[in-house]
Amino acid sequence: MIELLTARTAELDASALGEARALLFEVFGADLTEADWEHALGGVHALLREDGVLIGHAAVVPRVFRHDGRQLRTGYVEGVAVRADRQGRGHGSVLMGSIAGLVQGAYELGALSSSDAAVEFYRNRGWQQWRGPLAAMTPHGEERPTPDEEGGVFVLPATAPLDLTGLLTCDWRSGDLW
């Protein structure tokens, strides 16, 4: 039996969080860092279980982005993964459907940084590639360009008016900024 559950990080006990962490390290392997895992904490998790065992995970965490002179309450998507032997069966689509509902219900904008392999996956689920320049706001209040990320950031419009060719600036954090 397949079950989809959403829960805030604070509602998950150590065992459930450990299971999510283990799934992400299993799926992403050496590409995942502890900072990446921590980036998936603090918001809401979508968890997909098959007969009680976790086979899929995605999270949306709150961030504040800046675009066109406005601060945007942004739901940033992290840790999207389906166990390798369960991929290609629609589970990722179910997770992203749940995440889209969370973004539309609580944020002005959804955003994520896609792996090369998942670009079409997100595109086919309504996520739009950001075509303009990207930057990050340093703790000292300077806008630092992040050109290496350009092309890999996707947004899900919610309530905020967006110009996809304009500048999008993320808030600062340790590890990968996007």
110 binds ligand COA (CB under 6 A): no
Structure tokens at 15: 């065992």
Closer by beta carbon to ligand COA, 73 or else 83: 83
Residue 143 backbone phi and psi in degrees, to 5: -85, 115
Which residues does residue 54 pair with via DSSP β-bridges, in sequence order? 49
Please list the alpha-helical segments (H only) found in the chain. 14-28, 34-39, 91-106, 119-123
Question: Whole-number minimum distance, CB 95 to ligand COA, in Å?
Answer: 7
90 binds ligand COA (CB under 6 A): yes
80 binds ligand COA (CB under 6 A): yes
Binding to ligand COA by CB under 6 A, coded x per residue (else -) over 42-71, reads ------------------------------
124, 144, 163, 164: which one binds ligand COA (CB under 6 A): 124
What CA–CA distance (Å, rounded) separates 28 from 160? 32
- Total residues binding ligand COA (CB under 6 A): 18
Neighbouring CB atoms inside 10 A of 15's CB total 8
